[in-house]
Amino acid sequence: MAGGELEPDDLGRTAPWDLAEIVGVGLVAVIAILFVFSLVSALLTAIPQPPEPTHLFSLGITLQRLTVWTQPSIVPFFLFGSLGLAWWQIETWVAAAGSEEPAIAFHLRRARLIVKADQVASVLCFFGGVLSVIGNAMESPPDADWSGFIFTLGLALATIVVSAVGFVATRRLLDIHTSDAGVAVTVQGDQEPETAGSW
């Protein structure tokens, strides 16, 4: 470290991980695990099994396996939980920007990474909601089971709402709190920090 500036190698020593950061990363990791295993399950389902089902039926099952992780009973807890913790971290460290704490930039960078991961998850949830309806219709035509199709459609719409709220929230956090125009955090004691943006 030279001239009062933090180097990347100083991350572990000068900026220990806060509990909120650990939990936030853990929640994002759960989303990633659910997505990866849903993808693997979908790929395995796509492999024809004897007796070989019809093409549409098989594709429908594959799409439903692929999108099961986006169910509104699963993803909101992990998505909004990690996003809320990242928001809290951003608010906390932006408020401390006037102090001489040298690790502020590292904490804000971690929070920004969590928000970006949540943004990707929100986009995937949107496509998951759409594909789940398509998969259900391929597996079982709506006219054969309207009640099941309506139920799946409701879940898909709820998933799309979750994804929309998550995407808007992540965009707002990235644009207002962690963009160059929103906040400038200095790591040198002789520089004056700029004022952070607010909701």
3-state DSSP assignment of residue 133: helix
Q: How many domains does the chain have?
A: 1
Residue 194 maps to a domain:
no
Mean pLDDT of 58-66: 78
State the amino acid at position 67 in one-letter form.
T
Structural domain for 39, as ranges:
17-177
Tokens of 77: 């807890």
As a whole number of angstroms, the distance between CA 111 and CA 61 comes to: 37
Mean pLDDT of 30-41: 89
The pLDDT tens digits for 110-157 are 899 999 999 999 999 999 888 888 887 887 777 777 887 888 888 889
Residue 57 maps to a domain:
yes
Helices (H), the chain: 11-14, 19-46, 55-67, 75-95, 104-139, 146-172
Residues sharing a CB contact under 8 Å with residue 91, sequence separation 6 or more, in sequence order: 177
As a whole number of angstroms, the distance between CA 116 and CA 93 comes to: 18
Q: 165 burial class (0-12, 13-18, 19+ CB within 10 angstroms)?
A: middle
Residue 197 maps to a domain:
no
Residue 7 maps to a domain:
no
pTM over 0.85? The answer is no
Residue 6 maps to a domain:
no
